[in-house]
Amino acid sequence: MYRAVTRGIQVTAMPEFSPERSSPAEGEYFFVYTIEIANLGDRTVQLTHRRWLITDGAGDTREVRGPGVVGETPTLRPGETFRYSSGCPLATPNGVMRGGYRMVDEDGDAFEVAIPAFSLDSPFGTRTLN
């Protein structure tokens, strides 16, 4: 598990390798990850956008941006959590993901919440720090 807290918003990432969706002989590795976003603060917030930086084992980085997550822009009152799962294909057996969520609080103030960097590791590669 990987965790970061920004302005009372806790983001927890839980990645795992998906062997059934991977083809190592063809250089295709698929990872699934579950993200839990918890509002530990005292203000209602809404997630409006996401930004991911995905770095493969060769050091190549791609950026993914867009509105919401998995088609939703969840609103979290104090004490509430939102959980979703998604996936990431790589051409290498390992990599790293990190990023941020754009949040807007109940007064309309926007801020970025850190998504902790997390490692994508398959049993087909040597684990390295990127």
Of 106, 80, 95, 87, which is closest to residue 130 (Cα–Cα)? Answer: 95
Nearest CA to 2 among 125, 95, 114? 114
Distance CA 2, CA 44 (A): 24
Contact 37, 13 (CB under 8 A): no
pLDDT of res. 130:
47
Report the pLDDT value the prediction gives residue 129, as an integer from 0 to 100. Answer: 52
Give the pLDDT confidence score for residue 124 in this predicted structure. Answer: 87
pLDDT (tens place) for every residue of the chain, 130 residues total: 999 999 999 999 999 999 999 999 999 999 999 999 999 999 999 999 999 999 999 999 999 999 999 999 999 999 999 999 999 999 999 999 999 999 999 999 999 999 999 999 998 876 555 4
All structural domains of the chain with their residue ranges: 2-121
Q: What's residue 127's pLDDT? A: 54
Superfamily of domain 2-121: ApaG domain (2.60.40.1470)
pLDDT score recorded for residue 125: 72
